[in-house]
A and B are shown apart, each in its own frame.
Chain A
Amino acid sequence: MKTNANTHIVVIGNGMVGYKFCEKLLARKKNDQEFMLTVFGEEPRVAYDRVHLSEYFAGKTADDLTMAGQEWYIENGIRLFLSDPVVDIDREEKLVRSHHGHVVHYDYLVMATGSGAFVPSIPGVEKDGVFVYRTIEDLELIQAYARKAKKGAVLGGGLLGLEAAKALLDLGLEEAHVVEFASRLMPRQIDDAGSKILQSQLESLGLNIHLAKSTQEIVGNDCIKGMQFVDNSFLDVDMLVISAGIRPRDELAKIAGLETHPRGGIVVDNGLKTSDPYIFAIGECALAHHMIYGLIAPGYEMADVVANALTGVEKEFLPYDMSTKLKLIGTDVASFGDPFIEEPACKTIRYENKAKGIYKRINVSPDGKELLGGILVGDAEQYNMLLQTCKNKTILPPDSEDLILGSRGGEEAGLGVMSLPDDALICSCEAITKGMLCQEVGEKGNNSIDLLKKSCKAGTGCGGCVPLVKDIIQGVMKQNGQYIKTVICEHFDHSRQELLDLVKMNILKTYGEVLNEYGHGDGCEVCKPVVASLLASLWNENVLTKDRAPIQDSNDRYLANIQKGGTYSVVPRIPGGEITPDKLIVIGQVAKKYGLYTKITGGQRIDLFGAHLNDLPIIWEELIDAGFESGHAYGKALRTVKSCVGSTWCRFGVQDSVSFAIEIEDRYKGIRAPHKFKSAVSGCVRECAEAQSKDFGIIATEKGWNLYVCGNGGSKPQHAQLLASDVDKETCVKLIDRFLMFYIKTADPLTRTATWLNKMEGGLSYLKAVIVDDLLGLASAFEEEMQTLINNYKCEWKEVVDSPELRKRYNHFVNVPEKDPTITFEEMRTQKRAKEWV
Chain B
Amino acid sequence: MEPTQNTKDRITWHLACNVNDIPEDGGGTALIEGKQIAIFNFTRRGEWYATDNECPHRQQMAIGRGMIGSQGEEPKVACPFHKKTFSLKSGDCLNDEGYKINTFPIIIKENQVYIGL
Interface residues of A (CB under 8 A from B): 490-491, 512, 521-525, 527-529, 547, 549-551, 553-554, 557-558, 562, 565-566, 809, 812-816, 818, 820, 822-823, 837-838
Contacts and interface: CB of A to CB of B under 8 A. Distances in A.
A198 to B, nearest CB: 33
B69 interface: yes
Contacts of A553: 67, 80
In this complex, which of B24, B25, B27, B42 has the most chain A Cβ atoms within 10 angstroms of its Cβ?
Answer: B25
Given A523-B69, A523-B70, A815 B16 contact: yes
A816 B31 contact: yes
Nearest to A812: B29
How many of chain B's residues touch chain A, expressed as a range? Answer: 35 or more
B61 A820 contact: yes
Nearest to A520: B70
B60 interface: yes
A838 to B, nearest CB: 6
Contacts of A815: 1, 16-17, 21, 30-32
Given A525-B83, A554-B81, A813-B31, A547 B67 contact: no
A500 B7 CA distance: 51
A814 B71 contact: no
Given A814-B22, A814-B30, A838 B81 contact: no
B25 A566 contact: no
Contacts of B83: 525
A562 B21 contact: no
A512 B59 CA distance: 32
Given A550-B23, A550-B26, A812-B29, A490 B65 contact: no
Given A562-B80, A562-B81, A566-B62, A524 B16 contact: no
A566 B61 contact: yes
Given A551-B67, A565-B60, 15 more contacts: A490-B72, A512-B44, A523-B69, A524-B67, A525-B66, A550-B25, A553-B67, A554-B80, A566-B61, A566-B62, A809-B23, A813-B29, A815-B1, A820-B36, A822-B61
B39 A814 contact: yes
B21 A814 contact: yes
A814 B66 CA distance: 15
Given A524-B78, A528-B69, A837 B42 contact: no
A15 B69 CA distance: 46
For the residues of A in contact with B, the DSSP-based class is: loop
A679 B24 CA distance: 37
A815 B65 CA distance: 15
Contacts of B76: 524
13 contacts: A522-B44, A522-B68, A522-B69, A523-B70, A549-B23, A554-B80, A562-B65, A565-B60, A566-B60, A809-B23, A813-B29, A814-B30, A822-B36
A101 B90 CA distance: 54
Contacts of A812: 29, 61
Nearest to B25: A550
A93 to B, nearest CB: 51
A529 B67 CA distance: 9
A818 B31 contact: yes
B58 interface: yes
B116 interface: no
Interface in B44-102: 44-45, 58-62, 65-72, 75-76, 78, 80-81, 83, 85
B29 A814 contact: yes
In this complex, which of A512, A522, A557 has the most chain B Cβ atoms within 10 angstroms of its Cβ?
Answer: A522
Nearest to B70: A522
Nearest to A522: B70
B58 A522 contact: no
Contacts of B65: 554, 557-558, 562
A815 B37 CA distance: 11
Contacts of A816: 31
Contacts of A557: 65, 67, 80
A838 B59 contact: yes
Contacts of A521: 69-70, 72
Nearest to B59: A838
Contact of A522 (B21, B45, B80): B45
A502 B98 CA distance: 40
B27 to A, nearest CB: 7
A756 B70 CA distance: 29
B95 to A, nearest CB: 10
B46 to A, nearest CB: 11
A574 B17 CA distance: 40
A522 B30 CA distance: 24
Nearest to B27: A550
In this complex, which of A529, A553, A809, A814 has the most chain B Cβ atoms within 10 angstroms of its Cβ?
Answer: A814
Contacts of B32: 815
B25 to A, nearest CB: 5
B25 A524 contact: no
Contact of B28 (A562, A814, A818): A814
Nearest to A515: B44
Contacts of B24: 547, 550
A366 B44 CA distance: 69
Contacts of A522: 42, 44-45, 68-70, 75
A524 B29 contact: no
Contact of A837 (B59, B66, B80): B59
B96 to A, nearest CB: 14
Given A525-B78, A813-B30, A816-B31, A837 B58 contact: yes
